[in-house]
C-alpha cells in the first residue's frame, strides 16, 4: 500500500487533513511535534486521533527549542495569548501566536521521515483563509518548500519525488469542517484552544475561528467550551 506522512497536531485542520489522506487510500504515518508549546493537550489529542485511525506507528518528536527561541505567545509565558478579538482585528497583522518558521521545521523533519519510510506524500493542514496571517501557511511558501524538497532529496534523484499535499489550503473553516464530517473524521477528539484547558476557552483567536466555522457549516461543535459566543 502507498504511504503518506501526516503532520498531526491534534487540531481540527490536521485531523481533517489526515481524514483526506485516508480517503485518498494511503497508509498513514502521523508525525507530531512537542515543540515547547504552552500545553501538552494537543499532543495528547494527537495520540487519540492516531489511535482512532489505528496507525501502526505514531512518531512524536520532542523539539522544545522553540520555547528557547521564544517570540510567540504559544511558546512564551511572557507574551499574552490574544482574546476576544474580532475577525477584523485578527486580519490587521501577523499575530503574536505565530511561531517563527515553525512549519519549515516541521516539514523538514516530515520530509526526512518520508524518505526513510519511502512515503510518496506528506499531508499538512495549512490554511491560507482562516485569517491567522501566518506566513508559513501561504501557498507560495509551500511551493518554495516543494522546490527545496525536489532539489534536496535522494528520493527525487531516484525519480521518486515526495509531494507536499495541502488539501485544505484554500478552504474556509466551515468548508474544512464539512469535509471532516463527510470523511468521518473524529472532530470530537480535536483541540484548537491556544490555552489548552480541559474545556476550550472560547475566547482565543483559534477558538473563535473554530466556532465561526461550525456556525457557517451549520454543525454542532462536539467539544466543550468555557464560553461560547
Q: Residue ranges for the binding site for Zn(2+)?
A: 193, 201, 204, 207
Cβ pair 214, 91 in contact under 8 A? no
Taking the CA atoms of 104, 107, 113 and 117 in sequence, report the sign of the dihedral they define. Answer: negative
φ and ψ at residue 28, rounded to 5 degrees: -95, 135
Annotated binding site for ATP: 8-18
Cβ pair 94, 135 in contact under 8 A? yes
Residue where the block lists cell 512537542: 34
Residue 25, exposed/middle/buried by CB under 10 A (0-12, 13-18, 19+)?
exposed
Annotated binding site: 8-18, 193, 201, 204, 207
β partners of residue 196: none
Q: Could you tell me if residue 36 is left (phi over 0), alpha (psi between -120 and 50 degrees) or otherwise beta?
A: left
Cα–Cα dist 207/135, whole Å = 20
β partners of residue 204: 83
Kindly give the interhelix angle for 173-183 and 205-217, rounded to the nearest 10 degrees: 70
Cβ count within 10 A of residue 64: 13
Amino acid at each position: 500500500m502507498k504511504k503518506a506522512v501526516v503532520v498531526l497536531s491534534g487540531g481540527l485542520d490536521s485531523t481533517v487533513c489526515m481524514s483526506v489522506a485516508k480517503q485518498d487510500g494511503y497508509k498513514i504515518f502521523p508525525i507530531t511535534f512537542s515543540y515547547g508549546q504552552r500545553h501538552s493537550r494537543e499532543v495528547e489529542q494527537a495520540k487519540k486521533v492516531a489511535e482512532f485511525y489505528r496507525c501502526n506507528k505514531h512518531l512524536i518528536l520532542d523539539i522544545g527549542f522553540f520555547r528557547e527561541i521564544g517570540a510567540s505567545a504559544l511558546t512564551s509565558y511572557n507574551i499574552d495569548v490574544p482574546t476576544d478579538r474580532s475577525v477584523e482585528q485578527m486580519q490587521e497583522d501577523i499575530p503574536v501566536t505565530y511561531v517563527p518558521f515553525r512549519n519549515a521545521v516541521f516539514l523538514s523533519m516530515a520530509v526526512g521521515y518520508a524518505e526513510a519510510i519511502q512515503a510518496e506524500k506528506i499531508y499538512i493542514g495549512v490554511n491560507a483563509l482562516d485569517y491567522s496571517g501566518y506566513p508559513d501557511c501561504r501557498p507560495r511558501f509551500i511551493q518554495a518548500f516543494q522546490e527545496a524538497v525536489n532539489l534536496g532529496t535522494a528520493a527525487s534523484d531516484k525519480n521518486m519525488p515526495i509531494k507536499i499535499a495541502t488539501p485544505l489550503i484554500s478552504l474556509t473553516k466551515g468548508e474544512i469542517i464539512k469535509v471532516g464530517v463527510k470523511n468521518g473524521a473524529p472532530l470530537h477528539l480535536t483541540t484548537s484552544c491556544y490555552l489548552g484547558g480541559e474545556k476550550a476557552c472560547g475566547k482565543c483567536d483559534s477558538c473563535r475561528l473554530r466556532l465561526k466555522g461550525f456556525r457557517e457549516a451549520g454543525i454542532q461543535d462536539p467539544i466543550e467550551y468555557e464560553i461560547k459566543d
